[in-house]
Structure 1
């Protein structure tokens, strides 16, 4: 077993100041080691096109990227290529989500080598405050904002790609700019998608939504209780699934069985985080190992978090944090078995 440490990061102020603060973090942490990898993944990225789209779709994120560029004393074109998530390549990843009237429960499965290991509490002057796990600094793997909107991503396929943004950037855009499901669905249809991903979304209404998004088309599935894994279910998009989706289908079936049991948040957390659970994976060298488990509660803005396997859950009130009455831990620690 190896220790996995997730840093808890606080960001507040203008988007430019958020970028500047994160540039200092990049220079002083393992994130700096990712620059060579990001350069490889973004070889074909069109920085000028990305900036043009961001000016319209998400000007705040563009300002944040400018702040990072200023802090690192690097050209904006390079920073946009590295961190905007526009037209970049990325290995497959796995994710499993359960959504019911009150809770959103999720495992994120990937490799620790490409994991930011950051839980970011972000409060931009011109956007909604949010909490979520980051990817490539500005992106989010999943998160919840101050209005109780919860969003997470699920990789489906990277073969049928076009010029567009990777899902982690899109999740961040939704958290920053959308106060409810309707706004999120409206915005996601106006963003160019680079790859095939599912987006699982809920808010305090208790409604759940899965947006099946390909570069060519998006299909929306509503329901009060939903399971979401790594394949498209709609007939019109099933042809875009990978050839082998049996694992995704089995996880989906298991989550649907949990929906019927009406479990408590802690019971749901345990079902996802237990090292022997059919939802917990240890194939870290194959980019399919469970890195974090999180339960988002949109009605009361509460989080239950675990890092790695069989982690004692950390409870955080996002509402109390925003009110200044909750002190965050500096790190969250857990164990993973990478043998």
Structure 2
């Protein structure tokens, strides 16, 4: 017998300077499971040098340090501990899977992981310094994917954690790109300035309709530009193929599945959402205990500054306007709910 569990994602609105944004999130953290993850997050960040993390953030995005200070103050926890838990610097993190596809007018993505380490937060942010954005958070300050007010869309795709360096997790890097960069060109330039912890793909599009995948390791980044792209969890450039995991058949198969979908349909943003979110789709996965279950489906439309969100499988699509949020005219729900299959 199939056993489903409700998955509830909190919708968060953050407005103000970086320190205040840190403070605003403290009550939510205290009332949720995030503090219960404190011991686990500290265990995963034993390699983090808090002083080095602070120095690197001061260079790439000082506002994040102010947000961390606000978190530390509001949670009444040591500043050093908050840097280790939430900065993503030199942190150990399990493997994950993500599938994305983009056309001229939209970018659609499934995020595959485990609910045990999922923030379950859709964050609308309008900082006094930096670009406003909407995206799913990871470790509070990081972003799994997102779109900013200039129409830049970025998503992360895990490739390998065996090749590691001293640097930030991809979720922190996505946040930096969304807050600092107005287009793909700026994002590519910024990616080359940030120290990377592991091997990841970064899929990006913007209002120009240009689409790229940046294959990033701790030592180099290669830009793969395409008119129409899909992106999964392996490197395709000849130079970086040796950095892939030994088993990438699942990732390759998802690329093939997307190509078949493209060949057999003229997808719209909504039809792409339904294809990715269908529990029977070859792009939807249910291995949650193995850190490979689809938690959310999201479609970003850069020119309209709209986002379509679904939680779990066969979910109702929820559409929001980032433009209306920035203008103060968007009434957000408190939560978005869906269902995931935990056992059969």
Give the 3-state SS of the residue equivalent to 2:201 in structure 1. strand
TM-score, with length taken from structure 2: 0.97
Which runs of 5 or more residues in structure 2 are unaligned?
Answer: none
Q: Match for residue 331 of structure 1? A: 335
Matches for 1:230-245 after TM superposition, within 5 Å: 230-245=233-248
C-alpha distance in structure 1 between counterparts of 2:277 and 2:256, whole Å:
17
**TM-score normalised by length of structure 1:** 0.99
Q: Any residues of structure 2 matched to 1:230-269 within 5 Å, and which?
A: 230-260=233-263, 261-269=265-273
Aligned residue for 2:190, secondary structure, equals helix
Number of residue pairs the alignment of both structures matches? 339
SS of match in other structure, 1:338:
strand
Q: What's the secondary structure of 1:152's corresponding residue?
A: strand
SS at match of 2:323: helix
1:320 and 2:320 correspond: no
Q: Distance in 2 between matches of 1:29 and 1:22?
A: 11
Please give the per-residue CA displacement for 1:57-107, whole angstroms capped at 9, x wherever unaligned. 110111111111111122211111110000000000000000111110000
Answer yes or no: is 1:197 the counterpart of 2:189: no
Q: CA deviation at 1:325?
A: 2.3
Provide the C-alpha distance between the structure 2 equivalents of 1:10 and 1:296, rounded to a whole number of angstroms. 18
Gaps of 5+ in 1: none
Tell me by how many angstroms 1:256 deviates: 2.1
Separation in 2, partners of 1:332, 1:338: 19
Deviation sequence 1:245-289 (CA, Å, 0-9, x none): 000000011112233332111110111000000000000000000
Counterpart pick for 1:178 among 159, 177, 181: 181
In 2: Cα distance, 1:302 partner to 1:47 partner? 37
Q: Is 113-122 or 318-327 further displaced after alignment?
A: 318-327
Q: CA RMSD in A?
A: 0.8
2:76 to 49, 53, 73: 73
**1:82-121 equivalences in 2 (<5 Å):** 82-121=85-124
1:1-339 aligned at under 5 Å gives the runs 1-260=4-263, 261-339=265-343
- 3-state SS, counterpart of residue 14 of structure 2: strand
Q: Deviations over 1:271-328 (max 9, x none)?
A: 1000000000000000000000001000100111100000011111111222222211
* 8 Å contact kept, 1:100–1:259: no
Q: Which runs of 4+ in 1 moved over 4 A?
A: none
Partners of 1:10 and 1:120 within 8 A in 2 = yes
SS at match of 1:191: coil
The 1-side partners of 2:322 and 2:227 are apart by: 23
